[in-house]
A and B are shown apart, each in its own frame.
Chain A
């Protein structure tokens, strides 16, 4: 067994490309080794620094074994030419073929001997192929070369059994040397194996292994923040990114001018984290401090690096501070009419039009949510005003939030400013949904208005295209309703929203829009249920009606049923139902007239029929009693409790009575039974598993 060691040296590769190419390259080489049945064990991995991509397999078998293989040639009856053709194409002589019978016909065969192939020669041929097969998400050309790579590729080092694997990739020839100074590319050095290579770089502080580098940075950051009695809220994504933009990490504690702590905290953290890739520090009470950590790519011998980075943050924050002071004092109410200048979307009017619609829609919701109509109308009217501000222009990701801050400063009520801050929630799959009623109302009206508008324009997402992210928006809508357990007459709200567009002379037909939006919303509900691990058959059964007025109860019922479906309780319910529905279904079609209406108790012949009838009525009554109307758990218990009556009925009563009237009456009884169950969910498609 011997070591395989490759290094691809390029100009600075962006972090996401590094991650992608690391995984792809390692996997492709493994696939190749597996395909060729070349054994490898021990350690293997792919590492990277911004300039170096390294593949390392500790042990690969030096020879690949090709098992003996039998090839079928032409029939013995074939012409001489055909037989010679078989012999020549396998590069063998006539005495190496033999006859064998298959299905009464005789053929010539040839068995190739077991062979050993040098791994080195296989690697030599295949590695350039594997490398050039990488499918870059984004790649480039440079100079006059024809090679494509993430960034200009400068050299290839390829070693196996401590010797160079000689190949060509575009204009580059593989060697056993690489550049050891990443910037000037003046100095080269030859290496024999990965160990000597890694330790050579380690001496100058360069950690080739990115996992090691990440750990090193994390430890150092923690050490420094602890020594200052400060805390760090380490985000793995940022740490990962920083790891991939340095090779020689050096951790520097810096600070910015304290006066900038008066700016909304999100502006400061975005500036520090997103724009500069630094780490902000917090005090023991998790308040942001003016300290931050910079991970530089070299030692700060003269102190220039610290100073430079500090003044960059100061400059950026002073720019933000300038706008913050300017924008926060611009009266939001007075700016509403300026929203007329900003187009919301072609065909949907300006942001002023939108906020006027939101105001009315919010007013409509105020009754349902028991909100002050005035407050929600104010919130709706000013919620888009921050789009006019310089700060949102600078920090578009903070829209909404900044509006909330402006409102706070200008003395709007807390509910209003919070609603503004939270109006775009949830922003992603892991983001929170709003909980406060004013926020919920504003979030919902905004999303409904958007949805109705785009559906009104016929811009309905297709399976592959959703340029305005309406799916994400609608998942948010469903989540907000379901997680806050809101019972909303969504159809009515959508119709009203449509009406509001019509009032602004946008001719949308709610009869066309509503069914389409309903299906779209129900599909998102299904996604959400799937995400929560609810069984597919339960999901399908719960949404048969496509009733968007009942999103919360559909979701809760399915969730509760899913919890017990595999337990005894669940099995009882399904069995009770299936026994009744099976007979009902098989007999239904044979009946001349439809089975309609309730069973007639006067026709009951025995106690078992009466008991079941009584039970059905008991369930029905309880279902509509206020106490358990929304207690789906209790409803399930109630359904399961019919077990005794159902068993007794089927064990003792012949449904298929000769007397057609009695038979029909019994079928009607079973129909009543099933319909009662279907009040919870349509159980037809739910299975016991």
Chain B
């Protein structure tokens, strides 16, 4: 897509560095991934909790994300149960955010005038987080590379002011830049290490675990324990540790879902239970921070 010359190819790690560099220059605090299994960059407290309340906030970070149901034993060129998101969160959303975003693409070699960049309606909702926002998925030549969302609600609480969230799917973006049809062929670094060298075995093992081996009975018990722990922490006015329990519970739920151990009717109930916890966390967090 960019230059075909090997030495000029933007590697996977370059992409991360360039994005970090770009958003750092735009005044974002560069954070590290949250040290827990989460379904998306949005779950990082730097997004969920920081988007609540009146204080300004600008941050960018990489977040490894897990979606057990999306595992394909390493056999599918596009689907992974573990992948990377690059997350930008800015509150209040600046007027020139579209320009900032398009320039960030330029920084990783996607020249706007050469491509068909589209803002396709995608009203985002996270039932477990009690969050909703309006925005788009950004398509580059038909491929979704970023999620662009103005948060309207988080943890069941109306946002004010409004934060804007940009979530780059790093593998997608890189596959686009490096012109690869298979995620495992992505070039990770200048020495030529590939994505598969790092992650193929992970995908195989975790797919097997998520779909076949995970012990549903135990996980159901763990879910209960985590839920109680979170409730207790909320009562004790410790929303931050309580939120950690929510994240763990959410991940346990996702594995149970991948195991198809939860029926459609129960599914809604579990989601509601997590949402109630997150709501409690959000309220307590605001109480303490205002």
Residues on A lying within 8 angstroms of B by beta carbon are 11-12, 14-15, 50, 138, 140-144, 151-152, 154, 183-186, 245, 276, 278, 294, 296-298, 300-302, 304-305, 307-309, 311-315, 318-319, 322, 341-343, 345-346
Q: Does B213 contact A (CB under 8 A)?
A: no
Q: Does B31 contact A (CB under 8 A)?
A: no
Nearest Cβ on chain A to B208's Cβ, whole angstroms? 16
Stretch from B80-88, B90-98, B245-253, B273-281 at the A interface:
B90-98
Asked if A308 and B143 make an inter-chain contact with CB atoms under 8 angstroms apart, the answer reads yes
Q: Does B140 contact A (CB under 8 A)?
A: yes
Q: How far is the CA of A186 from the CA of B112 in the complex (A)?
A: 15
19 residue pairs A–B, Cβ–Cβ below 8 Å: A138-B123, A140-B152, A142-B164, A143-B92, A144-B92, A151-B134, A154-B95, A185-B96, A278-B142, A297-B117, A298-B115, A302-B114, A305-B116, A308-B142, A311-B181, A322-B72, A322-B76, A341-B263, A343-B264
Report the count of interface residues on B (CB-CB < 8 A). Answer: 46
Asked if B94 and A342 make an inter-chain contact with CB atoms under 8 angstroms apart, the answer reads no
Asked if B115 and A305 make an inter-chain contact with CB atoms under 8 angstroms apart, the answer reads yes
Asked if B102 and A183 make an inter-chain contact with CB atoms under 8 angstroms apart, the answer reads yes
Q: How far is the CA of A278 from the CA of B120 in the complex (A)?
A: 14
Q: Does B1 contact A (CB under 8 A)?
A: yes
* Partner among B94, B114, B119, B162 whose Cβ is within 8 Å of the Cβ of A301: B114
> Restricting to B5-19, which residues have a CB under 8 Å from any CB of A?
none
For the complex with contacts A144-B162, A297-B118, 16 further pairs of A-B residues with Cβ separation under 8 Å are A11-B119, A12-B136, A141-B162, A142-B162, A143-B95, A144-B161, A152-B93, A152-B95, A185-B96, A301-B113, A305-B116, A308-B140, A312-B142, A313-B142, A343-B263, A345-B265
> Restricting to B93-148, which residues have a CB under 8 Å from any CB of A?
93-96, 98-99, 102, 112-121, 123, 133-134, 136, 140-143
Asked if B98 and A183 make an inter-chain contact with CB atoms under 8 angstroms apart, the answer reads yes
* Complex contacts, A318 vs chain B, CB 8 Å: 77-78
Asked if B161 and A143 make an inter-chain contact with CB atoms under 8 angstroms apart, the answer reads yes
* Complex contacts, A301 vs chain B, CB 8 Å: 113-114
* Complex contacts, B140 vs chain A, CB 8 Å: 308
Asked if B79 and A319 make an inter-chain contact with CB atoms under 8 angstroms apart, the answer reads yes
* Partner among A152, A185, A322, A343 whose Cβ is within 8 Å of the Cβ of B266: A343
Nearest Cβ on chain A to B195's Cβ, whole angstroms? 15
> Which residue of chain A is the closest to B102 with respect to CB atoms?
A183
A154-B95, A301-B114 known; A309+B161 contact, CB < 8 A: no
Q: How far is the CA of A309 from the CA of B141 in the complex (A)?
A: 5
Asked if B142 and A294 make an inter-chain contact with CB atoms under 8 angstroms apart, the answer reads yes
Residue interface mask B157-177, A partner, CB < 8 A = 1: 000111010000000000010
> Which residue of chain A is the closest to B121 with respect to CB atoms?
A14
Most buried by B among A152, A186, A245, A313: A152
Report, nearest first, the 10 A-B pairs whose CB atoms are least far apart.
Answer: A308-B141, A343-B263, A14-B121, A12-B119, A309-B142, A296-B116, A312-B142, A140-B134, A144-B161, A143-B92
Q: How far is the CA of A154 from the CA of B99 in the complex (A)?
A: 13
* Partner among A11, A296, A315 whose Cβ is within 8 Å of the Cβ of B181: A315
> Restricting to B223-281, which residues have a CB under 8 Å from any CB of A?
260, 263-266
Asked if B121 and A15 make an inter-chain contact with CB atoms under 8 angstroms apart, the answer reads yes
Nearest Cβ on chain A to B212's Cβ, whole angstroms? 14
Asked if B150 and A140 make an inter-chain contact with CB atoms under 8 angstroms apart, the answer reads yes
Q: How far is the CA of A152 from the CA of B164 in the complex (A)?
A: 12
Q: How far is the CA of A676 from the CA of B176 in the complex (A)?
A: 79
Q: How far is the CA of A248 from the CA of B143 in the complex (A)?
A: 19
Nearest Cβ on chain A to B176's Cβ, whole angstroms? 7
Asked if A315 and B141 make an inter-chain contact with CB atoms under 8 angstroms apart, the answer reads no
> Which residue of chain B is the closest to A186 with respect to CB atoms?
B99
Most buried by A among B116, B161, B266: B116
A138-B123, A342-B264, A343-B266 known; A319+B78 contact, CB < 8 A: yes
Q: How far is the CA of A304 from the CA of B2 in the complex (A)?
A: 10
Asked if B77 and A304 make an inter-chain contact with CB atoms under 8 angstroms apart, the answer reads no
Nearest Cβ on chain A to B83's Cβ, whole angstroms? 15
Q: Does B201 contact A (CB under 8 A)?
A: no
Asked if A308 and B176 make an inter-chain contact with CB atoms under 8 angstroms apart, the answer reads yes
A12-B119, A301-B114, A319-B79 known; A184+B162 contact, CB < 8 A: no
* Complex contacts, B197 vs chain A, CB 8 Å: none
Asked if B92 and A304 make an inter-chain contact with CB atoms under 8 angstroms apart, the answer reads no
Nearest Cβ on chain B to A677's Cβ, whole angstroms? 53
A311-B181, A312-B143 known; A245+B99 contact, CB < 8 A: no
* Partner among B72, B78, B150 whose Cβ is within 8 Å of the Cβ of A315: B78
* Complex contacts, B136 vs chain A, CB 8 Å: 12
* Partner among A138, A305, A346 whose Cβ is within 8 Å of the Cβ of B134: A138
Most buried by A among B112, B164, B263, B266: B263
A315-B181, A345-B265 known; A183+B162 contact, CB < 8 A: no
Q: Does B287 contact A (CB under 8 A)?
A: no
* Complex contacts, B92 vs chain A, CB 8 Å: 142-144
Nearest Cβ on chain B to A13's Cβ, whole angstroms? 8
Asked if B76 and A184 make an inter-chain contact with CB atoms under 8 angstroms apart, the answer reads no
Asked if A142 and B142 make an inter-chain contact with CB atoms under 8 angstroms apart, the answer reads no
Q: How far is the CA of A383 from the CA of B87 in the complex (A)?
A: 44
Nearest Cβ on chain B to A391's Cβ, whole angstroms? 13
Q: How far is the CA of A307 from the CA of B179 in the complex (A)?
A: 10
Asked if A319 and B120 make an inter-chain contact with CB atoms under 8 angstroms apart, the answer reads no
Nearest Cβ on chain A to B271's Cβ, whole angstroms? 15
* Complex contacts, A319 vs chain B, CB 8 Å: 76-79
Asked if B265 and A304 make an inter-chain contact with CB atoms under 8 angstroms apart, the answer reads no
Q: How far is the CA of A143 from the CA of B134 in the complex (A)?
A: 13
Q: How far is the CA of A186 from the CA of B121 in the complex (A)?
A: 24
* Partner among B98, B112, B141 whose Cβ is within 8 Å of the Cβ of A305: B141
A143-B94, A319-B78 known; A308+B115 contact, CB < 8 A: yes
Q: How far is the CA of A322 from the CA of B164 in the complex (A)?
A: 36
Q: How far is the CA of A12 from the CA of B102 in the complex (A)?
A: 14
Nearest Cβ on chain B to A667's Cβ, whole angstroms? 62
* Complex contacts, A143 vs chain B, CB 8 Å: 92-95, 161-162
> Which residue of chain A is the closest to B262 with respect to CB atoms?
A343
> Which residue of chain B is the closest to A250 with respect to CB atoms?
B116
